Chains A and B, each alone.
Chain A
Amino acid sequence: MALKQLPIVPSGDPGGLAESANAGVQRINRPVISDATKIDPIVILFCPDGAISLDESGFVISYKFCKGCGICAKESEGIVMVPEYTGPKGIF
Chain B
Amino acid sequence: MTINVNSLPQVELFGQGNVGCKGCGAAIAGRQAMKVLGERTIITIPASCMATLGGSNTRSAWRVPFYHTLFECAPAVSSGIRAALEIQGIKDVNVVSWGGDAGSADIGFQSLTGAAERQENIIHVLYDNEMYMNTGGQTGSQTPIYAITSNGSLGKKVRKKNMLAIMEAHGIDYVASANIAYPEDLMAKFQKAAAKKGFSYIHILAPCHRGWGIKPEETIEVARKATECGLWELFEVDEGKRTRTYEPKLIPVADYFKAQGRFKNLTDEQIAEFQKFVDDYYGKGE
Please name all residues of chain B whose beta carbon is closer than 8 Å to the beta carbon of A67 when the two chains form the complex.
21-23
Tell me whether B183 and A42 are in contact (CB under 8 A). Answer: yes
Is B114 an interface residue when CB atoms closer than 8 A count as contact?
no
Is B42 touching A8 in the complex (CB atoms < 8 A)? yes
CA of A53 to CA of B32 in the docked complex: distance in angstroms? Answer: 14
A82 — which chain B residues lie within 8 A by C-beta?
A: none
Separation of A9 and B65 alpha carbons in the complex (Å): 7
Interface string of A42-58 (1 = CB under 8 A from B): 10111111110111000
Could you tell me the distance in whole angstroms from the C-beta of B34 to the nearest C-beta in chain A? Answer: 10
- B12 contact set on A, CB distance < 8 A: 18, 50
Interface flags, B21-52, vs A, CB<8A=1, else 0: 11111011001100100011010000000000
Whether a CB of chain B sits under 8 angstroms from the CB of A86 is no
Indicate whether A48 sits within 8 Å of B89 (C-beta atoms), given known contacts A9-B65, A21-B16, A71-B216. Answer: no
Q: Chain A's nearest CB lies how many Å from the CB of B167?
A: 25
- CB of A50, distance to nearest CB on chain B (Å): 4
| A18 in contact with B65 (CB, 8 Å) | no
Check if B63 sits within 8 Å of A12, measured CB to CB.
yes
State whether the Cβ of A15 lies closer than 8 Å to any Cβ in chain B.
yes
**Of B63, B88, B90, which one neighbours A16 at CB under 8 angstroms?**
B63
B61 within 8 A of A: yes
* CB neighbors of A among B95-149 (8 A): none
Question: B217 at the A/B interface (Cβ < 8 Å)?
Answer: yes
**Whole-angstrom distance from the CB of A24 to the nearest CB of chain B?**
11
CB distance from A71 to the nearest CB of B (A): 5
What is the interface of chain B, defined by CB distance below 8 A to chain A?
5-6, 8, 10, 12, 14-25, 27-28, 31-32, 35, 39-40, 42, 55, 58-66, 88-90, 93, 180, 183, 215-221
Given contacts A17-B60, A47-B15, A48-B25, 13 further A-B contacts (CB under 8 A): A4-B90, A8-B65, A15-B59, A16-B59, A18-B12, A18-B16, A18-B17, A20-B17, A23-B17, A46-B220, A48-B23, A73-B217, A74-B218
Residue of B nearest to A23 (CB): B17
Most B CB atoms within 10 A — which of A4, A26, A46?
A: A46
- Residues of A within 8 Å of B, CB-based: how many? 41
Q: Residues of A contacting B64 with CB < 8 Å?
A: 8, 10-12
Tell me the smallest distance from the CB of A46 to a CB of chain B, in Å.
5
Known: A3-B88, A15-B58, A16-B55. A51 touches B16 (CB 8 A): yes
Report whether A50 and B63 are in contact in the complex, using a CB–CB cutoff of 8 Å.
no
Q: How far is the CA of A51 from the CA of B18 in the complex (A)?
A: 11
Let me know if A44 and B5 touch, CB within 8 A: yes
CA distance A69 to B22 in the complex (A): 5
Q: How far is B24's CA from A23's CA once the two chains are assembled, in angstroms?
A: 13
| Other-chain contact of A71, B40, B42, B66, B220 (Cβ < 8 Å) | B220
B31 touches A48 (CB 8 A): yes
* A50: contacting residue among B16, B39, B58, CB under 8 A: B16
Report how far A65 CA is from B60 CA in the complex, Å. 14
Chain A hits for B40, CB < 8 A: 8
Residues of A within 8 A of B90 (CB): 4, 8
* A41 interface residue (CB < 8 Å to B): yes
CA distance A14 to B169 in the complex (A): 44
Q: 5 A–B contact pairs at CB < 8 A?
A: A20-B17, A41-B6, A47-B31, A48-B25, A71-B217
**Alpha-carbon distance between A21 and B58 when the two chains are bound, in angstroms:** 14
Closest to A55 in B: B10
